[in-house]
Amino acid sequence: MDIFYKNGWLPAVVTTLQLCLPFPAIAAETADEATLPTVTVKAAAKAKPPAVTKGYVAERSSSATKTNTPLLETPQAISVITTDELNAHKVQTLTDAVAYTPGVRVGAFGYDPRFDSFSIRGFDATYAGIYRDGLRQLSSNFAIYKEEPYSAERVEVLKGPGSVLYGQAEPGGLVNITTKRPSFEARREVEAQFGNYDRKQGRFDFTGVLNDGDTLAYRLTGLFRDSKSPIPAANDDRIFIAPAWTWKPDDKTTLTVLTYYQSDKTVGNPSYFNQNGKVRRDLPAGDAAFQDFIQDQFQVGYLLEHKLNGQWSLCQNLRIGRVDADARYTDISEIIGTVATRYTGRLVENFETYALDNHAQWQGRIGQLDHTVLFGLDWTHSFNNGRMGFGSAPDLDLTTLNYGTQTIDSPVLDMPYQYRMSQVGLYLQDQLHWQQWRLTLGGRHDWADTSQTQDGLREDGSDTHFSGRVGLGYLFSNGLSPYLSYSTSFVPVVGKNADGGFFKPTTGEQIEAGLKYQPSNSHALITASLFQITQENVKLASGLFTQMQAGEIRSRGFELEAKADVNEALHVTAAYTYLSPEFTSRKDDNYGNTLSSIPEHTVSVWGDYTLPAGVLHGAGIGAGVRYLGSSMGDDENTFKNSRVALLDMALHYEFMKHWRLAINANNLTGEDYSTCAQGYCYLGQARTVIGSLRYVW
């Protein structure tokens, strides 16, 4: 496979095959009373696009199967955060968007505006678990794509391994963002937001038809933010602009071009000094004189869909992007008397990414079985060119706390490195329907190549891996749907064992049993799931500078989620998670311990009500509680994080048909709390209040 990567032939070959490969129509054969089964052609149902959802309750999803399948028929737990739910919370980050989702742990490292950091079912999803429009958002070190939630039509959280369709992915699950698409119905909105920490933000979203023939539509989404943050002298600034176009010459072909540019300025080190296992709230680790983290990123891509006939459809999804990151930070080494000694670090990265997914879908009947068959080939490639360096900073006087008053020079970037990754995957999936039974079978084979160059030394590695999934469900007439599934995952690991051999991929497997309920007389969906995930080949320290692959993590848990649009005025969500992730390798010093910062119990409840009539017609209130139970503060399990309950609230008023005024507050009571992970402690999210005024026409 390597020759295809090096010469750049693979994308061209894939494109040619996808667009030119002939797909013969399937017809019934009856010659000689043959024993061949009768093949009946069945046209695909004209399902409502998954991105178009009114209210909080979605009924369909494409993240688990890539085939726009009803959630009730998908043998895996999925949570969908719709546009209305995102708007109700006035989310500012992707982390905010998934905060009420069962199985998702946000804030494990306290308030950190640099990244979208969270875990799913006990496994980190920051680096390998974020997708946009079905393509993975590749990442490396500090060069991680920052997601603007205002660009999202909806956010889907797939629980458990997704490698059978997506390749390398953490076993806990993934988050897939559906980007706002152009609409052939005109809609325009502008919104101004103001909040504490001098937050000033404006955003707009325009869409409509561009030509008289109604074949070309556009969308233009943008945002500008000038803001401070709870971290002293630290910014949270952003510029975002996303033009998009859709060309639909007929009912069979749709081409959507999606682009965006984003620029962020935030803080290089958001933590505080730790002493005696506690956070020193009076000692930020950073310094205003040298703490800016500046990142510019852009992406360009398209989604091409073509229906050959009533049974066959083709899809190609391509995206290229680049991240330029410059992270500067200061940190405290130790305290001696009334002086804190400090050091500096700087990391500059230029990160290029390429992703391509091609798949064909066939829907039809063979004998008594209805099939939805999906087969495809995808390719990802990334190249990271980085430099880093470390230096010294002037001491900090603890009596005067002279932050920002001394000149802090940038360290010399004398540690260059390069990293390349390429992956090709072939996958096949069949969703079989027989009466009320639903069987999903899937398999995939991946070829992954990596190359790392550091200190002039280049190391190459390659892995191949097979991933699979099988799921079985049954649809009762009363809206109940029990299911059982088994799925696997893998993630390539860079580096070598103590014996000099390359690390094997980290692999995972999940067994999940669940029950979904969608009552026919109401707009609601309730999901309960019981699961066990085991991840193997986890790296462990085997010496001062060496590692070995002997670790294993097992996560067991139970999740319950309920979403309901009771009527047009009242929307509610509720979620509960029990989670117990443990170190289960006897070669691990932490054998039998619980992973740090993962609460055993979490509960969240949210409700939003708008007065449908009367003098205050259009006025409404939303309120929610997020409860995080106690968790271990370190992997050695020597101390615990305290439980905490956070109150969120919203007041809103829609008037004169086009206007909406709202005030949203997270952590309304200003709960002052900290959380510790792997023995280091961080301050939690402070109270934030945002007022907004929106005009739609």
Q: Tell me: the pLDDT tens digits for 118-131? A: 999 999 999 889 99
Structure tokens at 43: 């046209």
Asked whether the CA dihedral 144, 149, 153, 156 is positive or negative, the reply is positive
The answer to whether 608 and 635 have CB atoms below 8 angstroms apart is no
Q: Which residue has the higher pLDDT, 388 or 140?
A: 388
Structure tokens at 664: 């949203």
Residue-level pLDDT at 543: 60
At the fourth CATH level, the homologous superfamily of domain 2-60+74-696 is TonB-dependent receptor, beta-barrel domain (2.40.170.20)
Chain segment 340-398, per-residue pLDDT in tens: 999 999 999 999 999 999 999 999 999 999 999 999 999 999 999 999 999 999 999 99
Q: CA-CA distance, 137 to 116, in Å (whole number)?
A: 12
Percent of the chain with pLDDT over 90: 83
Per the DSSP assignment, residues forming a β-bridge with 610 are 620
Chain segment 617-672, per-residue pLDDT in tens: 999 999 999 999 999 999 999 999 999 999 999 999 999 999 999 999 999 999 99
Task: Give phi and psi for 10, each to the nearest 5.
Answer: -60, -50
Structure tokens at 226: 């000038």
pLDDT level of residue 78 (50, 70, 90 thresholds): very high
Residue-level pLDDT at 30: 33
User: What is the DSSP-derived secondary structure letter of residue 499?
Assistant: T
Q: Which residue has the higher pLDDT, 273 or 8?
A: 273
Residue 603 scores a pLDDT above 80? yes
Residue-level pLDDT at 95: 96
Q: CA-CA distance, 670 to 648, in Å (whole number)?
A: 10
Percent of the chain with pLDDT over 70: 91
pTM over 0.95: no
Closest C-alpha to 549, from 558, 559, 538, 560? 538
Q: Which residue has the higher pLDDT, 533 or 25?
A: 533
Q: CA-CA distance, 238 to 148, in Å (whole number)?
A: 9
Q: CA-CA distance, 621 to 662, in Å (whole number)?
A: 9
Q: Pairing mode, if any, of strands 173-179 and 130-132?
A: parallel
Structure tokens at 626: 């997020």
Q: CA-CA distance, 286 to 269, in Å (whole number)?
A: 6
Average pLDDT, the chain: 90
The answer to whether 259 and 242 have CB atoms below 8 angstroms apart is yes
Q: Give the list of residues 6+ apart from residue 657 with CB closer than 8 angstroms, or none.
A: none
Chain segment 278-327, per-residue pLDDT in tens: 999 999 999 999 999 999 999 999 999 999 998 999 999 999 999 999 99
Task: Give phi and psi for 32, each to the nearest 5.
Answer: 55, 35
The amino acid present at 657, given as its one-letter code, is K
- Residue 606: helix, strand or coil by DSSP? strand
Q: How far apart are the first and last CA of the chain?
A: 52
Residue 570 scores a pLDDT above 90? yes
Task: Give phi and psi for 689, each to the nearest 5.
Answer: -130, 130
Mean pLDDT along residues 104-118: 94
Residue 154 scores a pLDDT above 60? yes
Closest C-alpha to 111, from 230, 196, 285? 230
Q: CA-CA distance, 614 to 616, in Å (whole number)?
A: 5
Q: Pairing mode, if any, of strands 457-474 and 480-491?
A: antiparallel
Asked whether the CA dihedral 221, 224, 230, 234 is positive or negative, the reply is positive
677: left (phi over 0), alpha (psi -120 to 50) or beta: beta
Mean pLDDT along residues 261-283: 94
Residue 4 scores a pLDDT above 80? no
Q: Pairing mode, if any, of strands 312-336 and 339-366?
A: antiparallel
The answer to whether 504 and 463 have CB atoms below 8 angstroms apart is yes
Closest C-alpha to 347, from 464, 268, 436, 230? 268
Contacts 24+ apart (CB under 8 A), 461-468: 461/492, 461/494, 461/502, 461/503, 462/2, 463/490, 463/492, 463/504, 463/505, 465/490, 465/505, 465/507, 467/161, 467/163, 467/164, 467/167, 467/443, 468/164, 468/442, 468/443, 468/444
Residue-level pLDDT at 498: 67
The residue written with tokens 């490698």 in the block is 163
Task: Lowest mean pLDDT of 338-352, 462-476, 540-554, 564-578, name the range.
Answer: 540-554
